[in-house]
Chains A and B, each alone.
Chain A
Amino acid sequence: MNLNFEIKIIFGNDFDCLNKILNIFCGKGFTLESLTTQMQYKNNKNELKMKVKGPQKLLIILLKRMDTFPDVFNISWNKAPAFIFNEGLQSPLTKKINQRKGERNEALL
């Protein structure tokens, strides 16, 4: 069964690492609902927030695998809506606008 999840990942600040993280979801039946990244200036790391839809069991396996990547420092996730994201970032408004525009796959960068 496909469920909605919110995922937060702290990772090294380069494209390679971001790509490796995103790559793991490719071709495995996940839908991307939204994605934002932001610099955490105080520790010079990046923060990725994602909403995805897909099977829970596979998601857990993939997140565990991702946790072994050298440049991934922290992963938290929950079934949506779980508010593991900071306030505002997953505001219903943003979601509604995107849905209205039919831009479900647009990355909110």
Chain B
Amino acid sequence: MIISKRMSGSQIFFECLKNEKVKTIFGYPGGAVLPFYDTLYDIKEIEHILVRHEQGAVHMAEGYTRATGKTGVVLVTSGPGATNTVTGITDAFMDSVPIVIFTGQVPKPFLGLDSFQEADVIGITRPITKWNKLVRSPQELLEAIPKAFEIANSGRPGPVLIDIPKDVALEEFDFQGFPARTPKAFESKKIQIKNQSDIFEKVLKALEKAKKPLLYFGGGVIQSQACSELKEFVELTNIPFTSTLQGLGGLPGDHPNSLGMLGMHGTYSSNMAIDHCDLLIVLGARFDDRVTGKTSLFSKNSYKIHFDIDPSNMDKTIHCDLNVIGDLKNNLLKILPSLKKNKSLKNLNENQNQWWSTLSDWKQECPLKINKKELGATLILSELNSILKKNKTKFSIATDVGQNQMWASQYIQFQSPKTHITSGGLGTMGFSVPAAIGAAFGKKEQLNKSEKEEIVISISGDGGFQMNMQELITATTYKAPVKFIILNNSYLGMIRQWQELFHKERFSFTSLEGANPDFCLLAKSMGIPSKRLDDLKDVENSINWVLEPGTRLLECIIPQEEMVFPIIPSNSSIKDMITERFSKEEK
């Protein structure tokens, strides 16, 4: 006998979320979502985090997802609530972050009438979501919500949005349980590779022949949870590796085979290796233009093998000799056994001797420099790295966009996946503060009682910090123990750097000198203990202070002239790399 229960759309909505094992949602109420908030009032199993701006909610959901691997959920109202999420959704789309956004909508009879707080959210978010849908009845929710979670996490992950008119939330119907999950059309889209074994044989052959092999991996390695398989691959072949910004943490940053990050602000050795290798194996990366520079000059002489889940990434900007489409973890699992059996791979080490000595020359020729003579970002971040390492602290870091992001990627050695959280594809200033808060909620949710809390750090510039600083109060309210570090150079530093290098030092509208708030007072007003680091002698103390338990803010005063090196100007190649400040004569 089927027992049915009379329920409203909003009750069904939360039943569906519980069914998806959702524990936390980030949201902001409004007229169109009042029925949901009314239902939520009685729900104990789901924690709702009240943000201060809907953009903050989406970045928090992204931070939560990227720190835990669980799908982040956002609930906002119609019109302005929904449009405020657009930057965050685009950010998640570009960086393939699986999140689900629920937006309230005006009641169905009011649609299309320019009603109060009506916006065509489906139209607005169509190009920035994997899938979006306006739900027309509570019954439709039963199908749309599981589908949303499934699509967000299938193939190349990404954001999905469901728009729910207010009358759908209020409408009652007889709920008879969840429909059985049937294979849906989108499931049949799972990518199949023809002649799989043939492809893997080719990979092995290429490895056997290579004298100068290199592995370049991206965020796909972390998303497909292929890090341990990748480590095994690296250790079996002893292949040197470089990572993209999103790949950092995929393998330990201090691994002996690591050359550091590649691309525009990548290390000299990584970029030289890309330029000189004879075999380039690319895993879960998409040849972003910040990585390739001028595509016609990118790794010209190598045989290229590209593993990725997204068929549209294949041959998109760089032509590869062999494309392997599919889930990376599955594919690595298929290669590893043959790799272990393959005797000729033993020669690989000998083949590579010369290559390793060249690589170590490049490492010494132009290492990342730390300026110990004055208080600056390279010193502060390398000190932070040493302290975290010395204390064996487990940490995650969310960075903002600009110089702070690049310095963090260069000087912090991320040791494990899901510890480096940054906005790569869209480069969204204002990301780090909410993303770190979201990550802290995720870590707290995953914590076993016996474990020590993992430290979550937010690193921003003074410009980006101000783009979502309203969320400091969210951190305080919910006791999210985030360590906010501001690298304050009183400038929009990265833009200033480009103006200095490429626009004849015409610093047009990038100075924030005398135009910044007092960050310590600001923190105080939000109930967060703060400290200003403005003396070289205090670096270690200040870092130790900020790492103490609880929410804290450390403002670090750094010189406006400090630049991120090396830099390869955009659309250029390694030969145009700038490794240090020009002297006046050189300019």
Interface residues of A (CB under 8 A from B): 12, 16, 19-20, 23-24, 61-62, 64-65, 67-71, 73
Verify B155–A61 contact, CB threshold 8 A.
no
B271, chain A: closest CB distance, angstroms: 26
Q: Find B185's partner among A23, A62, A73 (CB 8 Å cutoff).
A: A73
Residues of B within 8 A of A73 (CB): 185
Interface string of B301-319 (1 = CB under 8 A from A): 0000000001110101000
A70, chain B: closest CB distance, angstroms: 4
Q: How far is the CA of A69 from the CA of B311 in the complex (A)?
A: 12
Residues of A within 8 A of B122 (CB): 16
Q: Find B127's partner among A23, A68, A70, A71 (CB 8 Å cutoff).
A: A23
Q: How far is the CA of A62 from the CA of B314 in the complex (A)?
A: 12
Verify A68–B185 contact, CB threshold 8 A.
no
Number of A-B contacts (CB under 8 A): 43
Q: Find A16's partner among B132, B151, B155, B186 (CB 8 Å cutoff).
A: B132
Q: How far is the CA of A100 from the CA of B143 in the complex (A)?
A: 48
22 A-B pairs with C-beta separation under 8 A: A12-B185, A19-B123, A20-B126, A20-B127, A23-B126, A24-B127, A64-B311, A64-B312, A65-B310, A65-B312, A67-B189, A68-B130, A68-B155, A68-B312, A70-B130, A70-B131, A70-B151, A70-B184, A70-B189, A71-B185, A71-B186, A73-B185
Verify A64–B314 contact, CB threshold 8 A.
yes
The answer to whether B265 has its CB under 8 Å from any CB of chain A is no
A71, chain B: closest CB distance, angstroms: 7
Residues of B within 8 A of A65 (CB): 310, 312
Given contacts A68-B189, A69-B131, 12 further A-B contacts (CB under 8 A): A16-B122, A16-B133, A19-B126, A23-B127, A61-B312, A67-B312, A68-B311, A70-B130, A70-B147, A70-B184, A70-B185, A71-B186
Residues of B within 8 A of A64 (CB): 311-312, 314
Residues of A within 8 A of B151 (CB): 70
Q: How far is the CA of A106 from the CA of B194 in the complex (A)?
A: 41
Residues of B within 8 A of A67 (CB): 189, 311-312
A43, chain B: closest CB distance, angstroms: 11
Q: How far is the CA of A70 from the CA of B147 in the complex (A)?
A: 10
The answer to whether B290 has its CB under 8 Å from any CB of chain A is no
Verify A68–B310 contact, CB threshold 8 A.
yes
Q: How far is the CA of A68 from the CA of B126 in the complex (A)?
A: 14
Q: How far is the CA of A16 from the CA of B127 in the complex (A)?
A: 11
Nearest residue (CB) in A for B122 is A16
Residues of B within 8 A of A62 (CB): 312
3 closest Cβ contacts across the A-B interface? A70-B186, A64-B312, A65-B312
Interface string of B278-311 (1 = CB under 8 A from A): 0000000000000000000000000000000011
The answer to whether B156 has its CB under 8 Å from any CB of chain A is yes
Q: How far is the CA of A19 from the CA of B184 in the complex (A)?
A: 21
B66, chain A: closest CB distance, angstroms: 22
Q: How far is the CA of A67 from the CA of B314 in the complex (A)?
A: 14
B464, chain A: closest CB distance, angstroms: 28
Interface string of B181-196 (1 = CB under 8 A from A): 0001110010000000
Interface string of B136-161 (1 = CB under 8 A from A): 00000000000100010001100000
Q: Find B316's partner among A61, A69, A70, A71 (CB 8 Å cutoff).
A: A61
Interface string of B173-186 (1 = CB under 8 A from A): 00000000000111
Which residue, of A24, A70, A73, has the highest number of chain B Cβ atoms within 10 A? A70
